[in-house]
Amino acid sequence: MRHHLILRVVTKFLVGTIMLYAFYVQFHGDFSPGGGFQAGVIMAVAFILYGVVFSLEQVQRVFPPWIVHKLAALGVLVYGVTGLYSLLTGFNYLDYTALSPHHPEHGQHYGILLVELGVGITVTGVMVAIYYAFAARNPIISDEEW
C-alpha cells in the first residue's frame, strides 16, 4: 500500500493510541469493562494494522516472529506460575490470598492483575502469530485488485 498516503499517516497516529488503549483495558479491567482477552486482542490489532498498512517485513522487524511465539507461551506460564506460587506458599491453587496473606483483598487485586496480564500476553502472541502465519503465505496482492 505504498501510495496510500492518508492511510499511512493516520496509521502512524493510531498505532500508539491503540496500544495505550490496550494497556488501559488491561490494567483498568478491575474497574471498567474489559480485561486480558480484550486487551490482548486490541494490542494485537495495533501490530496487525501496522502490518497491513506498511508491510509484513516492517512489522516483523518491530515484533519478530520468534518473540511472538515465545510470548504466546509466556502468558500461559505467568498464569500457571501464579497458581503454583500460591500452591507452594500453602494455599489452594490460584488462591490469590497467598500474594498478600495479611490483607486478602490486596492479594486478590495482585492476583487478578497477574492472571489478566498472563491472559493478555497469550492472546496478543497468538493473534499476532496467526496473522503472521496467514500473511506470510500471501501472494502479495496489488492494490488495484481490491
Partner 1 sequence: MLVVTAIAVVRMRSLFAMVMLSGVFSLLSALLFVTLDAVDVAFTEAAVGAGISTVLMLGTLALTSRFERPSKHSPLIPLFVVFVAGAALIYGTLDMPNFGAADAPAQTHVAPDYLARSPHEIGVPNVVTGILASYRGYDTLGETAVVFTAGIGVLLLISGLRGRRRRDDEDEATERGPGANVQNAASDAALNTGPKTGGQA
C-alpha to C-alpha distance for 10 and 34, rounded to whole angstroms: 25
Q: How many Cβ atoms are within 10 Å of 54's Cβ, its own excluded?
A: 19
Binding-site ranges for partner 1 (CB under 8 A): 25, 29-35, 37-38, 41-42, 44-45, 48, 52, 69, 72-73, 75-76, 79-80, 83, 93-94, 96, 104-105, 108-109, 111-112, 115-116, 118-119, 122-123, 125-127, 129-139, 141, 145-146
Contacts of 134-139 spanning 24+ positions with Cβ under 8 A: 135/51, 135/56, 136/56
The least CB distance from residue 19 to partner 1, in Å, is 14
What grid cell was written down for 42? 486490541
Nearer to partner 1, 67 or 135 (CB): 135
Sequence-distant (≥ 6) Cβ neighbours of residue 14 within 8 angstroms: 46, 49
Least distance to partner 1, CB of residue 93, Å: 8
Cβ closer to partner 1: 13 or 31? 31
Least separation in angstroms between residue 28's CB and partner 1 is 9
- Indicate the residue among 15 and 44 with the shorter CB distance to partner 1: 44
Q: Which is nearer to partner 1, 62 or 66 (CB)?
A: 66
- CA–CA distance, 1 with 134 (Å, rounded to integer): 18
Q: How far is the CB of 99 from partner 1 (least distance, A)?
A: 12
Toward partner 1, which CB reaches closer, 15 or 25?
Answer: 25
**Of 102, 105, 129, 119, residue with least CA distance to 29:** 119
